[in-house]
Structure 1
Amino acid sequence: MIELTRQYGRYGYRRIAALLRDAGWHVNDKRVERPWRREGLNVPMKHPKKGRLWLNDGSCVRLRPEHRNHVWSCDLVHCRTDDGKAFRTLNIIDEYSRECLAIRVDRKLNPGNVIDALNDLFILHGAPSFIRSDNGPEFVAQAVQDWIKAVGAKTACIEPGSPWENGYCESFNARFRDEFLNVEIFQSLREARILIEEWRKHDNTKRPHSVLGHRPPAPETIVQMDRRPVMH
């Protein structure tokens, strides 16, 4: 448990318990919680959740995903290499499965980069029904809008100043920054690309997601439940 905490310092005891079970230990959350608290491994409390945007007629602005490839979310995150130079990441997730489909890393990202990243994903997964994003120039550029329409998808831009409408991607971005960007030093852009891709694969295949019952969005293997050792 302590070794996992050293490796994933921002995980809580429930997520650590899920990793222990995946490693073969027959242990529930409560059994991990007691030594967790005794060792002082508590993670700081999260900030209160924000409310949704409600219209005058009482309806909520929200397009809810119903299946894979129904709604994808795109957003940009800013960071810096150790020499102080800025770089950006284009994060694209499937809102239904919570899988991070791609993270494009570059010093600058323009509408052409957005089209290239989406085109690669369309080849692998097919076109989604909707692509949700904020109103940044990289996403609302006419070239991007026309290209998305041409491939048979629709855009779902959020209301200006309402990031909670893109809540799935905002939640991913917060986890990306808290668990990874804030604890890594990138010596170069190439190193950032390699480490970020490794983290993306870990998030998809190994990291327990509470909303998915502490299972990863795209696990690589299926653990045989009846072969797990008992924790003494």
Structure 2
Amino acid sequence: MGNKRHKPEEIVTKLRQVEVLVGQGMARIDAIREVRITEQTYYRWRKQYGGMGTDQLKELKRLQKENERLRKAVSDLTLDKLILAEAAPGKLLSPARRRACIDHVRSQMKLSERRVCLVLGQHRSTQRRRPRGRADEERLVEDMIALARQYGRYGYRRIAALLRDAGWQVNDKRVERLWRREGLKVPAKQPKKGRLWLNDGSCLRLRPEYRNHVWSYDFVHCRTDDGKVFRTLNILDEFSRECLAIRVKRKLNSTDVIDALSDLFILRGVPTFIRSDNGPEFVAHAVRDWIKAVGARTAYIEPGSPWENGYCESFNARFRDELLDGEIFYGLHEAQILIEKWRKHYNTKRPHSALGYRPPAPETIIPMDQRPAMH
């Protein structure tokens, strides 16, 4: 009677041997002693394996293994579900976010790194590798934050363009990564309004094809700190997106429109079309007759359809968002100086998304040896 642990096949063999001995006339207790087991062991084995053959035993073992495998699979799936529930909601697109999420799950659930990395799809070498920024990353972030402070309404793409103009060899993706890491964000704008179509359902529009083809102009209203209103007359070349002039006065009428256009016609020539809305300053007979006399044509938009003057409307929105809404003007003269300064920055420095993030009229530096001689 030893303490040997019997295999299921051996148990079935001993039970069959006892049955054979009993069938030959031997007492059951003597047959049990003959196979060298105790009576309690015999009845326990008989309860578990009684009447079972070798083939049935093999099938039982197979079913037990399959049951164990299914039980383990269900347990793994339950654990995976718990890991995903503990992980951050949403997609973990970047390795850094996955790394932080895996550390959080391990600290909360006391699981192995291997298991959590497998569930969340992170390679273990990526999890263990702590990124080291480039040597110039600190200076790049400082310059980026300085530009973000200076131009609070610019997104990371325009900031990246300004960084490249300043001499940085950097692409938009790297700037976006640092932009997100530093928590920089442009406040959300108001939702865009739908377009207004013509009464007959058509959507015809004059599109600029070259410089001085189509100019557009419009008024923008603002106030100085003392509450008094002033107006700006914004004139834009639609093809190049260049702001040709911004006239700032307390009151602007048709005479001021003619005066501003006269200065530009002398400097830049006469455009083919001049687009505007149907305001009284633009449809006045004096303005229409004068534009016709100098050889240009007017292109008025339909009433209630500001989208037809989209270039100028877009410029007005940038003008208000980046300057007027963020400045306090204590007097008209201060407003004229700051607005003219912003206009020059818009033309020569500000990256324009429609121009491949280049300014509409960048400054050109002429070398000293190529400059014309002064007489």
TM-score by length of 1: 0.92
Of Structure 1 and Structure 2, the greater helix share is in 2
1:89 corresponds to 2:232:
yes
1:127 corresponds to 2:270:
yes
- Matching residue's letter, 2:335: A
Following the alignment from structure 2 to structure 1, what is the Cα–Cα distance between the partners of residues 206 and 234? 19
1:141-180 superposed matches below 5 A: 141-180=284-323
1:136 corresponds to 2:279:
yes
Following the alignment from structure 1 to structure 2, what is the Cα–Cα distance between the partners of residues 184 and 48? 23
Residue 131 of structure 1 aligns to a residue whose secondary structure is strand
- Do the aligned partners of 1:52 and 1:60 also contact (CA within 8 Å) in 2? no
* RMSD (Å), alpha carbons: 1.3
Query: Which residue number in structure 2 is paired with residue 16 of structure 1?
Result: 159
- Do the aligned partners of 2:197 and 2:305 also contact (CA within 8 Å) in 1? no
TM-aligned CA deviation for residue 4 of structure 1: 0.2
Following the alignment from structure 2 to structure 1, what is the Cα–Cα distance between the partners of residues 200 and 252? 38
Residue 108 of structure 1 aligns to a residue whose secondary structure is coil
1:60 corresponds to 2:203:
yes
1:155-198 CA-partner distances (Å, limit 9, x unpaired): 00101111111000000000000000001111110110011000
1:5 corresponds to 2:148:
yes
1:70 corresponds to 2:213:
yes
TM-score by length of 2: 0.58
Following the alignment from structure 2 to structure 1, what is the Cα–Cα distance between the partners of residues 198 and 278? 19
Residue 361 of structure 2 aligns to a residue whose secondary structure is coil
- Larger relative CO (CA 8 A, sep 6+): 1 or 2? 1
TM-aligned CA deviation for residue 47 of structure 1: 4.1
Which has the larger displacement, 48-57 or 108-117? 48-57
TM-aligned CA deviation for residue 35 of structure 1: 1.2
Query: Which residue number in structure 1 is paired with residue 83 of structure 2?
Result: none
Q: Identity, % of aligned pairs?
A: 83
Query: Which residue number in structure 2 is paired with residue 189 of structure 1?
Result: 332
Structure 1 stretches lacking a partner, 5+ long? 223-232
Following the alignment from structure 2 to structure 1, what is the Cα–Cα distance between the partners of residues 344 and 193? 29
TM-aligned CA deviation for residue 60 of structure 1: 1.4
Query: Which residue number in structure 2 is paired with residue 37 of structure 1?
Result: 180
1:96-115 superposed matches below 5 A: 96-115=239-258
- Matching residue's letter, 1:102: A
Distance verdict in 2 for CA 1:74–1:142, change over 3 Å = same
- Matching residue's letter, 2:161: A
Following the alignment from structure 1 to structure 2, what is the Cα–Cα distance between the partners of residues 111 and 31? 50
Following the alignment from structure 1 to structure 2, what is the Cα–Cα distance between the partners of residues 55 and 90? 27
1:95-152 CA-partner distances (Å, limit 9, x unpaired): 0000000000000000000000000000011010000000111100000000000000
Query: Which residue number in structure 1 is paired with residue 352 of structure 2?
Result: 209
- Do the aligned partners of 1:71 and 1:95 also contact (CA within 8 Å) in 2? yes
Count of aligned residue pairs for this structure pair: 222
Residue 278 of structure 2 aligns to a residue whose secondary structure is coil
- Do the aligned partners of 1:53 and 1:61 also contact (CA within 8 Å) in 2? no
Structure 2 stretches lacking a partner, 5+ long? 1-143, 366-375
Following the alignment from structure 1 to structure 2, what is the Cα–Cα distance between the partners of residues 52 and 165? 9
Of Structure 1 and Structure 2, the greater strand share is in 1
Following the alignment from structure 2 to structure 1, what is the Cα–Cα distance between the partners of residues 318 and 328? 17
Residue 21 of structure 1 aligns to a residue whose secondary structure is helix
1:47-103 CA-partner distances (Å, limit 9, x unpaired): 444444444665312100000000000000000111111000000000000000000
1:15-34 CA-partner distances (Å, limit 9, x unpaired): 00000000000000000001
- Do the aligned partners of 2:196 and 2:304 also contact (CA within 8 Å) in 1? no
